[in-house]
Chains A and B, each alone.
Chain A
Amino acid sequence: MILRVAYLLMRAEAQALKGHLDTLLLASLEAGPRHGYAVKEALRAGSGARFDLPTGTIYPALRRVEAAGLVSGTWTEAGGRRRRIYELTPAGRRRLTGERAAWRDFASAVTAILEPAP
């Protein structure tokens, strides 16, 4: 029973995360261009290892935001290894700014309700 509840909670968190994944990907590229594995590591490190997505699912998500024009990907070669590097487009930067403002509004409203008044 406890395992089932834990599993359901993990699934609920994974679903919630999926809904915000595009914004998180954009945020992970805000500091500069990165390849897929570095994006995954940035999400893991930035969330204190809480958002440890399967690396293989980061790549299709990056392709999706690329198709939406929010990031651009280019192949580079360094040390004999080819990598696809992603960076924010101006549209991606604008989307990130908007999503960040919307999230702050939402989070402050929820916090105001959840936190007991002093």
Chain B
Amino acid sequence: MSPLIGDYIAGLRRRLPAAIADEAAGGLTEAYQHHLAAGSGQDDAARAAMAEFGDLDLVAGEFTRQAPGRRAARLLLATGPVAGLCWAAALIGSRAWTWPVPVAARAGFGAVLAGAVLTLLSAATSRRSYQRTRLAMLASPVILALDATAITAVMLEAPAMTRALGMAVAVSLARMSFTACTLPRLATR
């Protein structure tokens, strides 16, 4: 096989998960053999196959844009303002600052939430790095745990379950269910 094809496939393997790189490499090899069978020399066949296949940046970029981690991060970020507004309205309405929750726990919750959102932003905005989209796999369980923590805090500390608190809990439960369904897919791709 032409070293040009070998270099291209090595580039695919560096930038993409193994199963995806294998499939793309198979397609490139198919095109290469098609040109060899049509009578081209090894390097000419390799150049023609690579031209047909597309530039490595273009191909890796297309896979990155379709990455499940990028899509999950975008969906979680899109639901963030809705969940945030529901929780803000519910907590203000219930005078949550009077609840017996330690300041350190409140600050810790905020810091972890900010970290998870920044990590999701990094995954959601990746255009060329497939690896970066996989950050969603780290941030999604954190968001799930934060939703669970918020719901637990309400159950333990809220003096009464208001309609606004109920709505915020429902939004968090919906997001937890989405995250729990998405995580296995993120782990395998």
Interface set of A (CB-CB < 8 Å, partner B): 35-37, 40, 54-61, 63-64, 67, 81-84
Residues on B with C-beta less than 8 A from A58 are 27
16 interchain pairs (CB within 8 A)? A35-B27, A37-B30, A37-B31, A54-B52, A54-B53, A54-B58, A55-B52, A56-B27, A57-B62, A58-B27, A59-B20, A59-B27, A60-B59, A67-B185, A82-B22, A84-B23
A56-B68 contact given A36-B23, A36-B27, A84-B23, CB 8 Å threshold: no
Counting chain B residues whose Cβ lies within 8 A of the other chain, the interface size class is: 20 to 34
Tell me whether chain A's interface is mostly helix, strand or loop, or mixed. helix
Q: In the assembled complex, how far is the CB of residue B65 from the closest CB belonging to chain A, in whole angstroms?
A: 7
| B178 touches A (CB below 8 Å) | no
Residues on B with C-beta less than 8 A from A37 are 26-27, 30-31
0/1 string, B35-67, CB within 8 A of A gives 1: 000000000000000001111001100110110
Instruction: Give the distance in Å from the alpha carbon of A43 to the alpha carbon of B26 in the complex.
Output: 19
Q: Is A56 a contact partner of B20 (Cβ separation < 8 A)? A: no
A55-B27 contact given A61-B66, A64-B66, CB 8 Å threshold: yes
Q: In the assembled complex, how far is the CB of residue A57 from the closest CB belonging to chain B, in whole angstroms?
A: 5
Residues on B with C-beta less than 8 A from A84 are 23, 26
Q: In the assembled complex, how far is the CB of residue A67 from the closest CB belonging to chain B, in whole angstroms?
A: 6
Residues on A with C-beta less than 8 A from B68 are 67
| B120 touches A (CB below 8 Å) | no
Residues on A with C-beta less than 8 A from B31 are 37, 55
Instruction: Give the distance in Å from the alpha carbon of A67 to the alpha carbon of B68 in the complex.
Output: 8
Q: In the assembled complex, how far is the CB of residue A15 from the closest CB belonging to chain B, in whole angstroms?
A: 15
A57-B58 contact given A63-B63, A63-B66, CB 8 Å threshold: yes
Instruction: Give the distance in Å from the alpha carbon of A56 to the alpha carbon of B49 in the complex.
Output: 10
Residue of B29, B52, B63, B65 near A59 (CB, 8 A) is: B63
Residues on B with C-beta less than 8 A from A83 are 26
Instruction: Give the distance in Å from the alpha carbon of A36 to the alpha carbon of B20 in the complex.
Output: 12
| B28 touches A (CB below 8 Å) | yes
Instruction: Give the distance in Å from the alpha carbon of A104 to the alpha carbon of B185 in the complex.
Output: 36
Residues on B with C-beta less than 8 A from A82 are 22, 26
Q: In the assembled complex, how far is the CB of residue A94 from the closest CB belonging to chain B, in whole angstroms?
A: 22
Residues on A with C-beta less than 8 A from B183 are none
